[in-house]
Amino acid sequence: MIRAMKGFVAAVDPVNHLIGRIVMYGIFVMMGILLWSSISKAFFVPTLWTLEMAQFAMVAYYILGGPYSIQMGSNVRMDLIYGEMSTRRKAAIDAVTVFFLLIYLLFLLYGGIASTAYSFGYFGSEPISFFAGFLTGESELGFMERSPTSWRPYLWPIKVIMVVGIFLMLLQALSELCKDILRIKGYDMGAKL
């Protein structure tokens, strides 16, 4: 069991670290979009796509960067009492809170999958079977959901990014739970930053 947990941590952490390091440059993408928005409004004809595209970029930045933030320990925490605790006690408290985070992320993932299925034109009540049907050829795309703005982009790309980000966050939370269990058992998993 210990070996499996260490292997899981060794597989998940580098992936989320790499994605987080790449995605953190997304701030420059957002800056570029918003800079173009300002320039086009001041000197040219204002563009329809800039504000919504900046929102999409912000969602991708936030959702895909979340697992990296959890991994680095950058999440907000009240250190008034927690900071003075031993490593094992911190790990025990973290294990409990991560367990509740996992429950929340599972509900969020299911909702994200349902919303993504809706954006592909599925209006039923079993979104997971809809996506499983693509593997067997039983499902097909329906009316594609679009934004109600004047630009009217398709919404499925950002919804897919959200599902991927939530899934990566779920994997990272499981990794953190494994690390906390290993710390409780006395293994040195490195201190949280």
DSSP code of residue 154: B
Tens digits of per-residue pLDDT, 37-58? 999 989 988 888 998 999 999 9
Confidence of residue 182 (pLDDT cuts 50, 70, 90): very high
In a domain, 189, yes or no: no
Determine the structural domain holding residue 144 and report its residue range.
Answer: 2-184
In a domain, 191, yes or no: no
Tens digits of per-residue pLDDT, 110-162? 999 999 999 998 988 899 889 888 888 888 888 899 999 888 999 999 999 99
Please give the average per-residue pLDDT across 49-68, as a whole number. Answer: 94
In a domain, 192, yes or no: no
In a domain, 190, yes or no: no
Nearest Cα to Cα of residue 58 among 29, 22, 19, 38: 29
d(CA 52, CA 190): 41
Confidence of residue 190 (pLDDT cuts 50, 70, 90): low
Query: How many structural domains are present in the chain?
Result: 1
In a domain, 106, yes or no: yes
pTM of the model: 0.89
